[in-house]
Amino acid sequence: MRIWMSSLLVLILGGCQSTGTSLPETDFQGKVPADLNAQLLKLNDQPIQSFRGQTVHVIYQEDRALVTIVQKLRSARWTWDMHKSQISDDVLAQTCRDFGDAIDQGLGVRTWFAGSGGFVTDIVKAGDCDGLK
């Protein structure tokens, strides 16, 4: 019985991890110029960046004109030790520095801290970066 329960737990947890690759839902709908869209599509071809405790992957959804920066913990045992309210100003400032001109043209950008204790930031969109770039 104990082996069966252990096997079931592994299957359940494995299933949860595999569904974690789908992006969080959003109702954001942006539109960017064709030349900017072509540049943003190249983000999907960039390799995952590996850091000491996390990996970072950038995903551009052309149909929504939305960039999702996925920051994922390296271990399922680790937990994000921060809250959305604590880092929202820093994330906004960094996002505006990195994508400000594209955001002004209709792009939306969010950061997803994937993993235990994770969350998705608010989408930074046109007007949010005024005075921050």
**Tens-digit pLDDT profile for residues 19-69:** 346 999 999 999 999 999 999 999 999 999 999 899 999 999 999 999 999
* 98 Cβ neighbours under 8 A, 6+ residues apart: 109
The whole model's pTM is what?
0.81
Instruction: Say what the pLDDT of residue 21 is.
Output: 60
74-126: per-residue pLDDT in tens?
Answer: 998 999 999 999 999 999 999 999 999 999 999 999 999 999 999 999 999 99
Instruction: Say what the pLDDT of residue 133 is.
Output: 59
Sign of CA dihedral 86, 122, 107, 40: positive
